[in-house]
Amino acid sequence: MLNQRNYLRCDECKKIKLDQIYLNNPQAIKDLDYNLEAIISTEAPICLDLLKERLRDAFNIGKISQKALDIIIFRLKKLGIVITHDLFDDVLWPSEGTYDVKYVRINSERTIYQVPEVEMKLVYDYYANICQTDDELYHSILNFFGFQTLTKKATEYFLHVKEYKK
């Protein structure tokens, strides 16, 4: 059986003006730290790409610049956030560290590449016991997350997840 839960999305981010972050405004930095901890404590494990989406909403901007990303990474490290590396993205965990993921989060509006390997492995293993071919397996995983098209990148990700060791 595949244990599932609805994805919990952080909805308590404070609005911040990005220029105040660049100016190192103490209140803006405090609010950024608050947002980082709120998002990660609610949504971990969370890919960096998805964290950037959440912060774009808080900043009310379309794109996170490299300068802003550098500040965000610095703040993550300052907060003691644990960063692990998946095939396509970094994954963020609370400062307490990584933990065993025992369920798959559904209804999340994540792309297939924003599902951390530790979570994807649960889905992969479940369908690997049911499906007869790799093609059937890959399409079953895609369908589980609400996708239909099997891309070269998705195939690469699934092959990588197959070898993932907890």
Separation between Cα atoms, residue 114 and residue 17, nearest integer Å: 26
5 forms beta bridges with 105
Strand pairing report for 46-47 and 90-93: antiparallel
3-state helix, strand, coil in the chain (%, to 5): 50, 10, 40
Query: pTM for this structure?
Result: 0.92
Per-residue pLDDT of the chain (166 residues; tens, 9 = 90+): 899 999 999 999 999 999 999 999 999 999 999 999 999 999 999 999 999 999 999 999 999 999 999 999 999 999 999 999 999 999 999 999 899 999 999 998 899 999 999 999 999 999 999 999 999 999 999 999 999 999 999 999 999 999 886 5
Neighbour count for residue 42 (Cβ, 10 Å): 17
Separation between Cα atoms, residue 114 and residue 77, nearest integer Å: 21
Q: Where are the domains of the chain?
A: 8-93, 104-162
Question: Contact, 79 vs 33, CB < 8 A?
Answer: yes
